Copies of this chain bind each other. A is one copy, B any other.
Amino acid sequence: MKKLRRSARLVDMTQHLLARPHKLIPLTFFADQYGAAKSSISEDLSIIKELFESEGVGLLKTVAGAAGGVKYIPRMKAEEARQTIERIGRTLESPGRLLPGGYLYMSDLLGDPESLGEIGKVFASIFADAEADYVMTVETKGIPLAYAAAYYLNIPVIIVRRYSKLTDGSVVSINYVSGSSKRIQTMSLARRSLPENSRVLIIDDFMKAGGTAHGMIDLLEEFKAKVVGVGVLMETADVEERLVDDYVSLLRLVNMDVRDKEIRLELGNYFTGKE
């Protein structure tokens, strides 16, 4: 037991909560930890709660009763989420990002812990109540986004393999048709990586026709898993028929003109409600 003054206790409780998103911490844990009365701990928590909410850090949810306690739910305010994604969108509109073959260069953004943290927190805010057990993505570019969201949801990540598959033991593989290129491809997931009846949140960087996401949903059926959400950083606007109906996009690629070197993005369906 560490006897701390209130000021030091507040610092310690803050860091303890921030390091454990979505985890229920019994009030008795803090009371025992600091040799303080539960009433003092409650007062401390209300100070932290108020500050977290006013600063947009997140919510502190109090669960009453014997099995009760307090839980930190990372949640970005709606207005801050919109501004964050708008800012990221503007960064991505820089003409130098247009690559041969009509690709959009995003690796720097997906490599930057600060931007990733922001996007991850937006996803975690959107899917905070989905009660996902796992975040799933497919290698390679979706991986950092999946981890960023999983960090704030405090749940594990499972990675569907498209390339490397040697070292995972027994795997379940499916063929799927890439919606845009119409090519048949294979994806696989290690049998042991996902228990049956899990609730899974799919996160990816990019969605065109949705063939990859659709493939992941098919794959999850093999594991008797339930898809509780699909979130993509960016979708493309010019798609005739989307293979996935229910998904959230943060950004939408409206136009990419290779000749005029123009990239035009708008906010995705999460913000605009556009189908």
Contacts and interface: CB of A to CB of B under 8 A. Distances in A.
B166 A103 contact: yes
B18 A108 contact: no
Nearest to A139: B140
Contact of A6 (B7, B14, B192): B7
A111 B156 contact: yes
For A14, A19, A48, A111, which residue has the most chain B Cβ atoms within 10 angstroms?
Answer: A111
Copies in the complex: 2
Contacts of A14: 10-11, 14-15
Contacts of A113: 147, 150-151, 154-157
Interface in A70-119: 99-101, 103-105, 107-108, 111-114, 116-117
Given A11-B10, A147-B147, A140 B164 contact: yes
Interface string A235-264: 000000000000000000000000000000
Chain A interface main SS type: helix
B141 A164 contact: yes
A94 to B, nearest CB: 12
Contact of A163 (B55, B158, B164): B164
A37 interface: no
Contact of A55 (B7, B12, B100): B12
Contacts of A154: 113-114
Contacts of A11: 10-11, 14, 47-48, 51-52
A47 to B, nearest CB: 5
Given A10-B14, A105-B169, A113-B150, 16 more contacts: A4-B51, A7-B7, A11-B47, A14-B15, A15-B18, A19-B117, A99-B168, A100-B169, A107-B190, A108-B156, A111-B157, A111-B193, A113-B151, A140-B161, A140-B163, A140-B164
